[in-house]
């Protein structure tokens, strides 16, 4: 039976190194650590000093602020919201924060702030496009995307149709089909000639039967459902043409079948057998 030789202990080289070698190695390491400890704060201090010089130098002072895209909101209000002033260093503020502050105005849908080094600021905004007033607990303004963005005040001075039949709870739970139907109807009314948005006083939303439009003249109800609005409004215009454009004496029209329009006359006209002007024939 062979007896394997045992492994000897590893020899520690440090015990063989002269004391002078070890002392030199320790000294070099200590110098490196000391240099790093001194250099890092020095670099940080130099960086801070350079940044401070950049944000305080008169060479980078703002000399002009250009504001574009405003119609309803004044340029002065945009400047105040941005917090940027002429004479201010162009690097002394965050452009993202300035844009966010501008969007604090409910009329502003989008805002972008740009620097043009060394001294020009460009602010470009996009205002919301109102399409209707929505009657809830009060009157609110709705834009073309369907966003209800602020309560209506007389200072807004808007001549828009009023949307009725909606509730705060319903706005959270309404199906996309019905919401899109309302937006589609508003889009059609805004784009067409003849009978258009300017001749509408109210739009009523009914979850079951869809949308009804009330004419500004005579307050005639036009039932248009949830789709095919252009065809239905064209059918209304054809009926109106047969009456020489006169709505007097009509209470409502069901336009859901654009090929066969159902006209409901007012009680007085039916009882008296009046003509298209509500007069006796």
Convert the pLDDT of each residue in 241-256 to its tens digit. 999 999 999 999 999 9
pLDDT tier at 173, thresholds 50, 70, 90: low
- pTM for the model stands at 0.73
Contacts of residue 206, Cβ cutoff 8 Å, sequence gap at least 6: 165, 212
Set out the domains of the chain in order of their start, with CATH numbers: 58-127 (3.10.20.310), 130-272 (3.40.50.11690)
Place 277 in a pLDDT band, splitting at 50, 70 and 90.
very low
Can you give the pLDDT at residue 280? Answer: 34
Q: How confident is the model at residue 167 (pLDDT cuts 50, 70, 90)?
A: confident
The residue among 72, 70, 96 whose CA lies nearest residue 84 is 96
The structure tokens listed for 95 are 């452009």
At residue 131, the 3 state secondary structure works out as: strand
- What is the 8-class DSSP label of residue 216? T
Residue 143 has a pLDDT of 93
Distance from C-alpha of 9 to C-alpha of 277, rounded to nearest angstrom: 121
Rounded to a whole number of angstroms, the distance between the first and last alpha carbons of the chain is 138
The pLDDT assigned to 36 comes to 54
């Amino acid at each position: 039976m062979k007896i394997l030789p045992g492994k000897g202990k590893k020899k520690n080289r440090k015990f063989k190194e002269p004391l002078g070698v070890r002392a030199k190695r320790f000294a070099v390491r200590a110098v490196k650590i000391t240099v790093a400890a001194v250099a890092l704060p020095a670099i940080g201090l130099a960086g801070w000093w350079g940044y401070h010089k950049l944000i305080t130098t008169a060479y980078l002072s703002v000399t002009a602020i250009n504001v574009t895209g405003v119609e309803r909101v004044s340029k002065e209000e945009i400047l105040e919201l941005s917090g940027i002033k002429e004479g201010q260093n162009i690097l002394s503020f965050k452009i993202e924060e300035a844009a966010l502050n501008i969007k604090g105005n409910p009329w502003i849908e989008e805002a972008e702030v740009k620097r043009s080094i060394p001294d020009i600021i460009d602010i470009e905004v996009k205002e919301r496009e109102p399409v209707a007033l929505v009657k809830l607990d009060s009157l609110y303004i709705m834009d073309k995307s369907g966003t209800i963005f602020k309560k209506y005040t007389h200072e807004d001075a808007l001549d828009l149709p009023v949307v009725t039949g909606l509730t705060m709870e319903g706005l959270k739970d309404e199906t996309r089909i019905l919401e899109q139907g309302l937006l589609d109807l508003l889009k059609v009314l805004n784009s067409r000639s003849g009978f258009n948005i300017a001749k509408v006083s109210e739009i009523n939303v009914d979850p079951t039967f869809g949308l009804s439009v009330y004419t500004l003249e005579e307050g005639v109800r036009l039932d248009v459902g949830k789709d095919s609005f252009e065809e239905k409004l064209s059918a209304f215009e054809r009926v109106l043409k047969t009456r020489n454009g006169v709505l007097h004496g009509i209470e409502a029209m069901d336009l859901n079948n654009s090929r066969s329009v159902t006209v409901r006359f007012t009680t007085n006209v039916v009882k008296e057998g009046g003509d298209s002007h509500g007069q006796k024939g």
